[in-house]
A = this chain, B = another copy of it.
Amino acid sequence: MSTLGLIEYQEAAPPVRAIYDDIMATRKTDYINNFWKAIAHDPVLLKRTWESLKQIMGPGALDPLTKELIYIAVSVTNNCNYCIASHTASAFGKGMTEAMFKELQAVIGMANETNKLVTGYQVAVDQRFQPPLQR
């Protein structure tokens, strides 16, 4: 369910259906998840979001699984339940092991803790860490 309802494949207009087709082909699946069906009410947003995501999440200097881990880290920190559920599933689908899942959560938890210790103690940035980065 979603604010404007979900647009199923059969009822989708051709431009939406074309994106759905590309999602399924790219992901080698016949399943379109609710996120896409919800934002399909705005075909321009659907197209821009999918094309950006396809470009960003593909292989590059970082591999696709590492990118999923980063996505989960953001989603947990933002407390986005849908995103956590879907990207956790996606990460397992891309080869995340249980051991990797556990280490991921431990790092996320620790980072959130030290983020707040730094903030609460009002720690100034060390001279050597100030941008631009020395290389």
- Chain A residues packing against B (C-beta within 8 Å): 1-5, 31, 33-35, 38-39, 41-42, 44-45, 48-49, 52-53, 55-57, 60-62, 66-67, 69-86, 88-89, 92, 97-126, 128-133, 135
Nearest CB of B to A12, in Å: 16
Q: Which residues of B contact A115 (CB under 8 A)?
A: 74-75, 78, 80, 83, 112
Query: What are 8 A-B contacts defined by CB distance under 8 Å?
Result: A1-B124, A49-B117, A52-B110, A57-B110, A70-B70, A74-B107, A76-B120, A88-B129
Contacts of A60 in B (CB 8 A): 99, 103
- CB pair B74–A121 under 8 Å, yes or no, is no
Chain A contact residues: helix, strand, loop or mixed = helix
Q: Is the CB of A81 within 8 A of B4?
A: no
